[in-house]
Structure 1
Amino acid sequence: MRKRNSFIFITAMILAITWTTIAGASEIVIGFTGPLSGPAAEYGQDCVTGVDLAIRDINGSGGITVGGKNYTFRLEKMDDRVDPTLATNNARKLRNELKAIAIFNPNAQTMTKLMAINWEKGNEYIIMGFTSIPQLAQLGNNYLITMAAPFTMYAKVYADIAWQNRWKKAAMLVTANIYGDTWRKSFENEWLKKGGVITYSAGTDYYKRTDFAGPLAKALATNPDCMLIGGPTATTTLIIEQARAQGYEGGFILIDQAKLDAIHPAMRKPLLLEGSIGLAFIKDVNYPAKSAFTENYKATFKRPVSWESIAHYASMHALARAIAASGTPDNAKAIRAAFPAAFPMLGDKYPMELFGIQANGTLLYPVLTQSMKYGKITPPKVYIWWAKTQQEYDALMKITKASFPQLWLPMGN
């Protein structure tokens, strides 16, 4: 009996080892390097949990089929605290040791460092970059996917709405980094084209500073009708409250990093947001699949849904579809070339809609805006910004699953 039991035990162990080997050989590793500790940790968690949930859902549905073989995904996440050197070291480990074929990164400061090494011959990998800085997509990196609409489109839309509000004089006080600097330049170009005046323009440290009395005093001394502001949620909230405390009664234009639906509940007096223009509230942009996604996300991570988590969830699904279409789990060039086959991804299955990808790697989804006017949040305005012709726009409207209006924003205007 002991010999028989020993035989069964050994056989079971061999089968377990064999199965583990097979399962390991059938995994595709996806990397993430981003801020998981420090001041930007909440932002990093919003991003990585979106990827995590997408992988859980894909694996729970049986994975993907690539070249006739079944694969599942494994997420390897590493903290870089927005440190470019640490992010580079993480990326090398994720690629060289863990064999990640794609690495998600949500910060332009670290992304540029990853872009310097992701094309090394024989060691190429896809960067899934969450940035709205359009200049990064224009640098010619053949393995970069940018997962956010370019902020130049937001600058155009926000300037249009502000001008309709009869604001003429704008002051700018945004986060002091390459993202904030290029945002200021983009908005200034749009504002001046309309005949508006920039009364003040400066960056300030939204990551370390909490008292903005000094820079606000300088900006408000120019008597602006509106202010372009923004950075992380907590400090953007402080700037709004401190500006109102100094007697400012004008409007606020929030750059796309600063989310209205995160700032609104953080305000001690939400009515202080009167006249604000920003990214739309998630609750007001209702695709058919969003409700189920929201319930699943909250139940899994015990945290509220954000646009970052939604974008990373959808983009991970797009990556999985591209890998399946490419016929290879480990050839970055083939996977990148297969991305157009992943689309469209519509709102009956995903919490947002992705309509395609530009040649430079920018994913195509609408610009979503909302305002507070007379103490109430206005209905969202949703813009299709990449359609070059009326016919292209009409074709998109025929396939969308959205029940809300989507406006055409011709890029040439």
Structure 2
Amino acid sequence: MKTLKALGLAIATLTAAQASGVYAEQTLNIGFTGPLSGGAALYGENTLSGLRMAVEDTNEAGGIKIGDETYKVNLISLDDKYSPSQAATNAKRLVKESKAAAVFVPHTGGVFALQDFNVADDFLIMAYTSVPSVTEQGNPLTVRIPPEFTGYVDAFSDYALKHYGKKLGIAGATHEYAKIWTDMMTKAWEEKGGEIVESNPMDYNKSTDFYTGVSRVIASNPDVMFVGGASEPTGLVMQQARQLGFPGGFIVMDQAKLDEIAAVTGGLDLLEGAIGVVPLSEYEGEAAKAFVERYKEAHGKVPGSEAAYNYLAFHALAKAMELAGSTDPQQVRAKMAEAISALDPKYNLYSIQGLTDKGGFITPTTMAVVEGGKIVRKEIK
């Protein structure tokens, strides 16, 4: 059997159990670093809630069978306040002190920071970010969980240009993920014949009053506003835009979810004309419906994609470990595509179709628009 260090396992041994001659239960540590305080705390907690549910499922079913041993899972979560440098510090701690077999990270800056050393330190990054470059750059121990956002940029731009107008005002966030989205949106919008009339990104994580920044964008008289960070501050930005008289459409970055934004704005009325990803609550599949009901019972609200995708991803990770008969990161990564194919349908909430050669989940791109006070799913051509 491999050494504990190679396996990344923490064996929990109780003194009382030793004294009685009973072997203690073996435990597999899985790490999480994400924003659990500050403006993106809700986003981080939503991500973590999905992981917790998946871990509970696994432990209630008896644990993960790895080779000849079965392990219960211990999820260790650390707050990084959306800071890439703190995410890196947390990951070092999770791997070196807790021997975490994998680390889940829900923000692009954090993923990039961990990629500087994850191969050398020999751990798997489970990356909740739709930025293509996190896998395209070829890091062999990174798995990208959500779909690439490239398809969203094109589809959202095409719809907005056709239905709302050519003048775009940018009022997105300032974190790394939002910057990449903004760059791609700017390029796509202009290539499609649109005009950027103002660009004034704002720090969504440190402010709750966006009137000054939003006013500057609205003064340029845009037909459409590009907004987006975590759902809660994005809702405040959109609400304040309406209060300042903006009548146009919104393009909403995929990190923010229309149903969660509606909870901030007091309903969908203020979101008329908003374009975003299809919320899980609008999915018709039995697995998605069952998860939504379970989540609502446990948390008192409808789950967002952060919870659902990470719930799915943990079960895929557990299956890959079982198939590999090991928690060795390279062996687990090599079994990830097979694990997705072998995943119990009740866990595959988004009908993941496979894994790219470079480690990204293959998922259908979706689009929804708020029309007549409802979230309406649209076909992407």
TM-score (norm 1): 0.82
Q: How does 1:26-105 map to 2 (within 5 A)?
A: 27-105=27-105
Q: CA RMSD in A?
A: 2.2
Q: How does 1:333-348 map to 2 (within 5 A)?
A: 333-344=330-341, 345=343, 347-348=345-346
Partner of 1:162: 160
Partner of 2:138: 140
* 2:248 matches 1:250: yes
> C-alpha distance in 2, partners of 1:94/1:348?
30
Q: 1:219 to 1:39 in 2, by over 3 A?
A: closer
Q: 1:266 to 1:166 in 2, by over 3 A?
A: closer
1:260–1:281 contact (8 Å) kept in structure 2: yes
> C-alpha distance in 2, partners of 1:248/1:300?
38
Partner of 1:225: 223
Q: Deviations over 1:80-112 (max 9, x none)?
A: 222334322321221122211101111222222
Q: 1:332 to 1:286 in 2, by over 3 A?
A: same
Tell me the secondary structure at the aligned position of residue 22 of structure 2. helix
> C-alpha distance in 2, partners of 1:226/1:348?
39
1:366–1:382 contact (8 Å) kept in structure 2: no
What percentage of aligned pairs have identical amino acids?
Answer: 33
> C-alpha distance in 1, partners of 2:145/2:326?
22
Which of the residues 256, 272, 275 maps onto 1:274? Answer: 272
Matching residue's letter, 1:341: E
> C-alpha distance in 1, partners of 2:164/2:379?
21
Shift of 1:349: 4.4
Shift of 1:207: 1.8
Shift of 1:339: 0.9
Shift of 1:297: 2.7
Partner of 1:377: 375
Unaligned runs of 5+ in 1: 1-11, 384-408
1:174–1:184 contact (8 Å) kept in structure 2: yes
1:253–1:276 contact (8 Å) kept in structure 2: yes
Tell me the secondary structure at the aligned position of residue 206 of structure 1. coil
TM-score (norm 2): 0.88
> C-alpha distance in 2, partners of 1:90/1:16?
36
1:108–1:131 contact (8 Å) kept in structure 2: yes
Q: 1:119 to 1:302 in 2, by over 3 A?
A: same
> C-alpha distance in 2, partners of 1:17/1:51?
34
* 2:185 matches 1:187: yes
Shift of 1:348: 4.5
Q: Deviations over 1:310-334 (max 9, x none)?
A: 01100001101111121212x1111
Q: Deviations over 1:242-282 (max 9, x none)?
A: 22222221111111112101011221463121111112232
> C-alpha distance in 1, partners of 2:270/2:297?
32
Shift of 1:56: 1.4
2:224–2:249 contact (8 Å) kept in structure 1: yes
1:288–1:347 contact (8 Å) kept in structure 2: no
Q: Deviations over 1:158-179 (max 9, x none)?
A: 0122133152221111001222
Task: Name which of structure 1's ranges 101-110 and 342-351 shifts more when overlaid on structure 2.
Answer: 342-351
Using CA pairs under 8 Å that are at least 6 residues apart, name the structure with larger relative contact order, 1 or 2.
Answer: 2
Partner of 1:6: none
Q: Deviations over 1:130-182 (max 9, x none)?
A: 11122222222111111121222111110122133152221111001222221
2:279–2:304 contact (8 Å) kept in structure 1: no
Q: 1:282 to 1:138 in 2, by over 3 A?
A: same
Give the structure with higher Rg (CA).
Answer: 1
2:229–2:255 contact (8 Å) kept in structure 1: yes
Which of the residues 171, 174, 181 maps onto 1:173? Answer: 171
Shift of 1:376: 3.4
* 2:22 matches 1:18: yes
> C-alpha distance in 2, partners of 1:178/1:266?
24
2:38–2:206 contact (8 Å) kept in structure 1: no
Q: 1:247 to 1:181 in 2, by over 3 A?
A: same
Partner of 1:202: 200
Shift of 1:289: 1.6
Which of the residues 217, 234, 255 maps onto 2:232? Answer: 234
2:369–2:378 contact (8 Å) kept in structure 1: no
Q: 1:78 to 1:221 in 2, by over 3 A?
A: closer
> C-alpha distance in 2, partners of 1:176/1:281?
24
Shift of 1:364: 1.2
> C-alpha distance in 2, partners of 1:127/1:348?
24
1:104–1:129 contact (8 Å) kept in structure 2: yes
1:343–1:354 contact (8 Å) kept in structure 2: yes
Shift of 1:302: 4.7
> C-alpha distance in 1, partners of 2:53/2:20?
27
Unaligned runs of 5+ in 2: 1-15
Shift of 1:14: 4.9
Matched residue count:
365
Partner of 2:358: 360
